[in-house]
Amino acid sequence: MRFCCGNCIGDRYIKREIIPSISRVEGTCSFCNSQNVQLVEPVALRERFELLLSIYSPDPEGRLLVEWLREDWAIFELPQMEIAHAKELLAEILDDGDIVRKPFSPSTSCHTNSLEDWAGLREELKHRNRFFPEMGLDLARLRELFPHLIFDELRADEPFYRARIQSAGPYSEDEMGAPPQILAAHGRANPAGIPYLYLASTDLTAISEIRPHTGEKISVGRFLIPEGLKFVDLRRPKKTVSPFILEDENDVATLRGDVMFLERLGDELTRPVLPKAAAIDYIPSQFLCEFAKKCGFDGVVYRSSVSDGMNIALFNPTITQCLGVAEYNVSKVSVEAQP
């Protein structure tokens, strides 16, 4: 008898809620070789996968189900879960070795207008109407989607960092917070005059974000984020959102279209922006963050555009304070270019 685990499937809800509730054995996964994990027979997940796969229809010009699951929901993404292994596991989950070899496509019910609405709104905000836009975006639906993106990986003892290029000597702890309102320039998340505190998951990510030159000296402050805060995680929505929470086929189909929209919003916060264009190009992401703040969130989490780390924009800069400052010397700056 073979068993699977939450790691080889890759869905957060399956891993944290479903498998722990039905698992009766621990050991090594038969599919991804994860060790000392909770295991279940693949067929025990059949009903949940059947609901998810009901939004895909047979199509001679389509793709394999495991390919759609990877692309749409980041399922079966572990390196060791190559297509052949993923098909093998899905066949055991569905108790059907034939269906995993047939081509499918998403049903027409999976389409939403969110992507088109956002594209129109971002252009209007940038170039036509800033404060009273005419383009519609279903903000009520976006408010419903944000709870699917709760950032729950924060530890009370996990440090975050902010970097500043030194003009004279090192900055003090009191000087490492967000700038005062009168000096707060526009940022990726904040409009001018409304300071947010930008923190990075590593010291090198924080240094990379300020784009220093070789030889410059950097002050890096260390911060702890208080427990109990609520953040929207836009690093990779398709990895965070779980279709297995839902119990209705139409809701799953709608969520697929919405995930594509959330991915676009995540890209909005990560997209590289030239300094001379920042005042305009940051407006859509500022709009997004202001709405997250209106929905009761304390900040947003997003990928770094210049490093492998992640960033947090904290809406209330006074909620934490610098616990120490270290001085760094920039010894090398790496540049990549394409013709």
Per-residue pLDDT of the chain (339 residues; tens, 9 = 90+): 899 999 999 999 999 999 999 999 999 999 999 999 999 999 999 999 999 999 999 999 999 999 999 999 999 999 889 999 999 999 999 999 999 999 999 998 888 889 899 999 999 999 999 999 998 889 999 999 999 999 988 888 899 999 999 988 899 999 999 999 999 999 999 999 999 999 999 999 999 999 999 999 999 999 999 999 999 999 999 999 999 999 999 999 999 999 999 999 999 999 888 888 888 999 999 999 999 999 999 999 999 988 889 999 999 999 999 999 999 999 998 888 889
* Token pair listed for 252: 């799953």
pLDDT at 153: 87
* DSSP per residue, 190-245: S-TTS--EEEESSHHHHHHHT-PPTT-EEEEEEEEPPTT--EEE-S-HHHH--GGG
pLDDT at 220: 97
pLDDT at 274: 83
Q: How many CA atoms lie within 13 A of 145 on its CB side?
A: 28
* Token pair listed for 236: 């990779």
With a CB cutoff of 8 Å and minimum separation 6, the contacts of 292 are 146, 232, 299, 300
CA 207 – CA 253 distance, rounded (Å): 41
CA 244 – CA 150 distance, rounded (Å): 16
Q: What angle do CA 263, 143, 300 make, to 5 degrees?
A: 55
pLDDT at 136: 84
pLDDT at 109: 86
pLDDT at 112: 85
* DSSP per residue, 274-332: -GGGHHHHTHHHHHHHHHHHHTT-SEEEEE-SSSSSEEEEES-GGG--EEEEEEEE---
Contact 42, 91 (CB under 8 A): no
